[in-house]
Chains A and B, each alone.
Chain A
């Protein structure tokens, strides 16, 4: 049971890397806390659901469509909201409240448009029957989720380290002020990062109907808790650190389910508090303590 839990946790954790990746990118670049992250993910799920139900579109193609549309939607949202927010004295804190409001708007619109029933896509779409992996039988959807997540992480890495825009993005992550002083168009760089961030949420959402059984407009809040635990345990503000966070979260959750199942929900919360309190310097891109 122990080995099974660890291997399953690893695969499940890779999917949760994808869930947290966009949130972390947005935090890293803009220092804003996107509490609507889980709701963008939910929108990705519904996009995949409708594309499959109406046109029989395969989730992988849906993921590509979601990527394009979400980046395009992200830019106007960024320009409409974030520049105004960043001039405020306590933008980090205000961003929590603002994006909470946005999450309410998205959830309400989704409930009005889609209704409150549970939705999902048949599992056979991603291959039938379990897949053997290291002696464990795992759902084939997990393999898909983990593979897409790995590709997404690789793409984010290539973007940040192998493209000009990515280099500028990293400059903004290190210091927004200095990036501004050296003449980088900080808003353009950030807007694109924001678009990518919510697109990553959307792509994670495409696979949520497989990974999470079914989806509803109200699912965002639970996703947020997990996503925050993942990125805090990884390195807040460092998108690639999300991989560590995802895996720790995935394995932790599966071990909890195995040995202390009714307490499983405590895990993300305790992980989050413990890491914030005891390992902040080691895990963060900057000091978070004050006098």
Chain B
């Protein structure tokens, strides 16, 4: 028995990587987790793949330039599979920090899988590059984290709410229905929207309900919303929720004057395949960098990245999460370029130094003092159907708009 115990410890110890380089290291180790299976796989895999494309691209060019050593250093991406399990993710984060001794730690992409990394990274004073984990609790009293590739959840719905309060009210929108999935990401946005609408005081919320995140049929919910006769409907759910909601809405024949939902703008290809152009026409959504050409000062443009993605033949749909992974890579690139050393404090300083100075295909990179992302905003857009495709125009704020919103009669 004792022997077995020791053997299994020996197995664990074999993961240990001893050498910690001094001076210019032979390679820079980037630790990351992804979920190849389970509920978070559909979000996690595109982010992982986007990051991987950046690593491969960088290594093909001889590595990432690090000013502190004045040379290019090859990257080594160590990405373990947590299978959407938080318990597994926790040990793997610890594995990356304590055994693999990675130089850079990048969290998995959903808030649930990011959450377990937060205390571990903080405990080991390891800076956590958090691609898309928007959980508000992560940033409280924690200097060791920054949100890299999407904004904090209170920023997300700001323009949608502003548009309703402003243009919507002018067009005669008086009542709003909110239907949201009860999880951290969409629940927080629902609270934010509720707050914005109540603060403006121009619109009445006539329906405000949460449903479990695994809800897959909205027919009766849509009927119930219709019974309240709202002018505007905001559906805040995950990608599966949006697919089911928009399909059921189409099947029901029900129309609303203004309809907003999250994922048509984030995973446009996936929604298009599942809902079809006619189901998306007229829908308001977030315009992510997947549908808006920001002028990058660093890295590929949207089209260049899309070409690289298609060439990589990932089997995954191209969408915002793909860009989030690549953007994370670009932020790492610029961080390495500017850092004084590979020390975690230096990395932290280098990331914050980028705030307001970096523009990627994901938009301007701006951090608040807690490490929350506030630059890569999500303007409001609206779809129009064009044959078998859809077109997404930014309709708000006016400074970014390249189209005019159409509110139904």
Contacts and interface: CB of A to CB of B under 8 A. Distances in A.
B347 to A, nearest CB: 32
Interface in A191-212: 211-212
Contacts of B216: 211-213, 222
A207 B241 CA distance: 17
How big is the A interface, by class?
35 or more
Contact of B221 (A118, A212, A222, A257): A257
A120 interface: yes
Interface in A116-142: 116-120, 122-123, 129-130, 136-142
B387 interface: no
A216 B243 CA distance: 12
Contacts of B36: 111, 116
B348 interface: no
Contacts of A142: 219
Interface in A202-258: 211-214, 216-218, 222, 254, 257-258
A8 interface: yes
A182 interface: no
B270 A216 contact: no
Interface stretch (B128-136, B249-257, B370-378): B249-257
B45 A222 contact: no
Contacts of B317: 117
Given A118-B240, A120-B247, A257 B220 contact: yes
Given A140-B251, A218-B37, A261 B211 contact: yes
A70 B184 CA distance: 40
Nearest to A111: B37
A117 B42 contact: yes
A212 B209 CA distance: 20
A73 interface: no
Nearest to A141: B251
A123 B220 contact: no
Interface in B237-284: 239-241, 243-245, 247-248, 250-254, 270, 273-274, 276
Interface in B125-181: none
B214 interface: yes
B400 interface: no
B250 A123 contact: yes
A118 B221 CA distance: 22
A216 B224 contact: no
A116 B41 contact: yes
A35 B215 CA distance: 21
Contacts of A122: 276
A59 interface: no
A115 B270 CA distance: 13
A165 B340 CA distance: 79
A237 to B, nearest CB: 28
Contacts of A123: 247, 250-251
B201 interface: no
Interface of A: 1, 4-5, 8-9, 12, 107-108, 111, 115-120, 122-123, 129-130, 136-142, 211-214, 216-218, 222, 254, 257-258, 261-262, 264-265
8 contacts: A1-B227, A107-B37, A118-B274, A136-B223, A211-B217, A213-B218, A218-B39, A257-B220
